[in-house]
Structure 1
């Protein structure tokens, strides 16, 4: 073994963080395997690497026995004493069996071991780095596409964007820069396998953290998100400090903050509403931009009946039920929407178990309506 290899191991220890002892252990194991393979030996051998002299020697290890049954692993007491008179039955004798041309094989093996260990170390570093970034957002560059995945370059590794995680209203082209949400990091044989998403609600949350300082520093908290990627999302926000306008902070001056996120998501509409622990207020807010007359809460079923003006029914339900569906996901409450006419016929206005907070709800709706981006209209939702 040349001094160059020893120097290379020392350099790797500094640059890649690979311990020289780890490399030497791996090299010894590889050399034993190479010796047995190249010289067709089934002996129990040990490899000794002398760093100072740059020498590699192979020793056959044999047990001292009275009667030899296997010449590869055993030696007679007489034969052992011929080497050293102090040997006794049960001792292990080491006999040098280094082949003459073993230096060439050793050099090739050393190169392979070092290369493999460097790759493993780099994979481990990348895996560790991206494990810490799971559930985080990154900017990547679209590399190529096939019928299953879009391959996104994240710098040190290529991530997979499956079809199911792609936004239906987006067209992806090579060299496009896109923001993606890291959903899974796996340690595969060929290196870390990273799966990313453009549809995950976590992407919306991270985008708001990037764009809204009050969310990043914890002044405003995102309580819940419901999302139908590429079409519409709802976001419930809350500020402990009553002086802080949580919705206004997310919207930004003249809608600048939320509009940046809408642009990133290719026009996805975003409704931002105030969160409340009161289900009446929260459900009414969640149905924004529709106006709400009354909310009846059925605690046992965790369900609500919401009464809206007749002319607001289609807006409250939304196109193909989307507004009601997103509001239910956002709040965690089942929502049954009825018009005032239907409610009157059913006698819901006279129901004793109802909780009527229409004035509070309306005030909250007045606050949140400005957060609809872009603003929805009856025709949009019908």
Structure 2
């Protein structure tokens, strides 16, 4: 060890963010194990690295006792008094036992410790960086695919895209650039593990924040999202500025803003609706693109009775009930949809009534004609 080693330690402190004292302490602790391993000693030893010269010194530490039980760890009171009359029972006597060829062993040990500590420090830096970015979007390249699990290269580290967080109809190929949502960052024995998602509603919200400046600036607010990843989503937005149309801001000129998000999600359909604090209005908006005739809400049961035109019933419900299901998730209301004909009172058929009245009158006439009047005597 020499001054070059000391300079290297301080350089690592600057470049890797690992405290030099942490490295020195770790090396000194490792040198104790190296000493005992290489010199067959079970002594209680202490190692010291000179912070300026890099010189290493090994000391054997013995406790002053009345009766020695183990000469590797104990020293008699008489022997200690000969070395220094100031020693008392229980004191620690240190004796230098630095081996002649200990420098080579120390250098090898120091290298292993430094490499390990740097690796641990880098893992810590990565963990701290990404744990603070949970619920945000990251862009990466598909690095490899093992089974159904996709590994995404983020540059400094890789993220895991598990099968449960993948869009069903999406194909992942090596080298593809994808945006994903940081779901969770965990510490493991192999370093930080970053779990990302392509199906989380948060991904849709973050994509709109990237594409729509009004959302990023807080002028337009995303109130709620309901999503069936890969198929269709609904987004409820409102504006704090009456002069800004929240839906128009999200759609963008000629639909360019929303279209870029649709492309990123491989064609997932997105309905953008205006949020309202009036549940009836919000439910009606949420059923877009269907038109709504009326909405009756029950605050107690959180059920909304919705009436739509007959020709809009299938559109309001959607394929396999998707539109109604997404609207219910978006509004947090149970929605009961009926057509106008289903709720309109059934009016009697006039032609049918006329026919029935005619039959009845004919029966009365026949009955009258067949009745005999009593004769007078």
Give me the TM-score of the superposition, normalised by structure 2. Answer: 0.89
Distance in 1 of aligned mates of 2:269 and 2:322: 12
In 2, distance between residues paired with 1:34 and 1:336? 76
2:141, 2:177 within 8 Å by CA — same for their partners in 1?
Answer: yes
Q: Which residue number in structure 1 is paired with residue 45 of structure 2? A: 45
Separation (CA, whole Å) in 2 of partners of 1:232 and 1:179: 18
Mapping of residues 144-159 of structure 1, within 5 Å: 144-159=144-159
Q: Give, in whole Å, the separation in 1 of the partners of 2:131 and 2:305.
A: 44
Q: Deviation per CA, 1:86-105, whole angstroms, max 9, x where unpaired?
A: 21112110112222322111
For residues 214 and 53 of structure 1, what CA distance do their matches in structure 2 show? Answer: 60
**Matches of 1:337 and 1:262, distance apart in 2:** 28
The answer for the alignment partner of 1:265 in structure 2 is 265
State the partner residue of 2:239: 239
Matched with 2:182 is: 182
Q: What is the distance in 2 between the residues matched to 1:57 and 1:246?
A: 72
SS of the aligned residue for 2:249 comes to helix
Larger Rg, first or second structure (1 or 2):
2
**Residue 122 (str. 1) matches residue 122 (str. 2):** yes
Moved more, 276-285 or 71-80: 71-80
| SS at 2:344 equivalent | helix
Q: Report the Cα distance in structure 2 between the residues aligned to 1:40 and 1:335, rounded to whole angstroms.
A: 79
**Cα deviation code 1:54-87 (max 9, x no counterpart):** 3211111111111112222211011112222221
| 1:345 Cα deviation after fit | 5.1
Q: Is 1:67 paired with 2:67?
A: yes
- 1:292 corresponds to: 292
**Alignment length, in residue pairs?**
346
2:7 matched to 1:7?
A: yes
Task: Supply the distance in 1 between the matched residues of 2:331 and 2:19 (Cα, whole angstroms).
Answer: 53
**Corresponding position: 1:230 with 2:214:** no
Cα deviation for residue 141 of structure 1 reads: 0.5
Partner of 2:354: none
Could you say which residue in structure 2 is the equivalent of 1:365?
Answer: none
Asked if the contact 2:6/2:53 (under 8 Å) is kept, the reply is: no
Q: Secondary structure at the match of 1:180?
A: strand
Hey, what does 1:308 align to over in structure 2? 308
Within 5 Å, give how 1:145-224 maps onto structure 2. Answer: 145-224=145-224
Other structure's SS at 1:277 match: coil
Cα separation, 2, equivalents of 1:335 and 1:35: 76
Task: Classify the secondary structure of the residue corresponding to 2:53.
Answer: coil
2:152 touches 2:158 (CA, 8 Å); kept in 1? Answer: yes
Q: Which residue of 1 aligns with 2:16?
A: 16
In the aligned structure 1, how far is the partner of 2:39 from the partner of 2:181? Answer: 53
Task: Measure the CA separation in 2 of the matches of 1:53 and 1:201.
Answer: 58
Q: 5+ residue gaps in structure 1?
A: 347-382
Q: Which stretch shifts more, 210-219 or 52-61? A: 52-61
SS of equivalent residue, structure 1 residue 142: strand
- Greater relative contact order structure (CA < 8 Å, 6+ sep): 1
**1:252 aligns to 2:248 (yes or no):** no
CA offset digits 1:96-116 (Å, max 9, x no partner): 222232211111110011111
CA distance in 2, matches of 1:222, 1:134: 19
* Partner deviation per Cα, 1:241-274 (whole Å, 9 max, x = no partner): 2111000000011111111111111111000000
The root-mean-square deviation of aligned C-alpha atoms, in Å, is 1.3
Q: Deviations over 1:291-336 (max 9, x none)?
A: 1111111111111111111111111111111001000100111111
For 1:173, what is the secondary structure of its paired residue? coil
Distance in 1, matches of 2:34 and 2:172, equals: 49
Counterpart CA distance in 2 for 1:59 and 1:156 is 42
